[in-house]
Amino acid sequence: MTQAATPDHYVVIGNPVAHSKSPYIHAAFAAQTAQALDYQRLLAPLDGFAASVQAFRQQGGKGANVTVPFKLDACALATQLTTRAAAAGAVNTLRFDGDKILGDNTDGIGLVTDIVRNAGVQLQGKRILLLGAGGAARGSLLPLLEQLPAELVIANRTLSKAQELQQLAQQYVTQIPVFARTFSDVDGHFDVIINATSASLQDDVPPLAGSLFDAGTLAYDLMYAAQPTAFLRFAATHGAQCRDGLGMLVEQAAEAFFIWRGVRPDTLTVLADLRQALNPTAEA
């Protein structure tokens, strides 16, 4: 009888963290790819992120996902950053290699993969509107620009914050036009409109003109819930195709799994199972 391999240990670190779906997702990936992996939740004190990570490493931990409010702490703790993590200024994935701590940010590539592969919407040559200028928008910036859109417009309530992201974008990609606007100054038609604001948490919508949307627009909300968010409901009334961020959650996890294990899992079955659990009457 073959002895089972001793599993490598991974965690998702946050505060709070009990709600995280990451253990389910990574257990499914591990089973699917025959990887010996144990993945748990780790609640870190608000002032004890670095100590929690170091204790986990000393216990033999191999890597971690990082959720709120520790993505900036993770960025500071990493001894090496990927380009996309440096551009985001935040880290959601850590890999421990001896004394080295690699910090990556898989949120943006998770978003892009869900749009391009799962939703079947190409971003190359398209006009994209990115709503918000906080951490979620910043993490999406470089992966979106790497898709070579025709242009990217960053809209925010405060213009100066949108301009900060515009300047950041131009440090990495110079051939793509990037514009900063307030919500009220955005006009024209967009192929893709991405809500990276926190408005959906309050069941609210950024103050946008309905004319930005039509049947050729993909409206994408980084948030997800059992029912469509206020942003997606607003977009749907103007004819847009709508997609929430559940696929992004699964795809960013798959990218982290690849960083740790060198294996790319199939995400569609996991996404379908999560969608069914979130809303038994919905389709993935």
| Positions at the binding site | 20-22, 67, 92, 107, 132-136, 156-161, 222, 224, 245, 252
Collapse the DSSP code of 66 into the 3-class scheme (helix H, G, I; strand E, B; otherwise coil) and give the result: strand
Active-site residue, 71 included? yes
Token pair of 140, please? 């999406």
> How far apart (Å, rounded) are the C-alpha atoms in residues 178 and 138?
13
Collapse the DSSP code of 91 into the 3-class scheme (helix H, G, I; strand E, B; otherwise coil) and give the result: coil
Q: What backbone phi and psi angles, to 5 degrees, belong to 80?
A: -145, 135
Which residue positions form the known binding site for shikimate? 20-22, 67, 92, 107, 224, 252
- DSSP conformational letter for 5: P
Which residue positions form the known binding site for NADP(+)? 132-136, 156-161, 222, 245
Q: Which helix (H) or strand (E) holds 192?
A: strand 192-195
Pairing verdict, β 100-104 and 80-81: parallel
Token pair of 229, please? 């968010």
Q: Point out which residues pair with 66 in neighbouring strands.
A: 13
- DSSP conformational letter for 116: I
> How far apart (Å, rounded) are the C-alpha atoms in residues 273 and 284?
8
Catalytic residue from among 62, 71, 100, 126: 71
Question: Can you list the positions of beta strands (E) in 37-184?
Answer: 37-43, 63-66, 80-81, 93-97, 100-104, 127-131, 151-156, 178-182
Q: How far apart are the first and last CA of the chain?
A: 40
Active site (catalytic) residues:
71
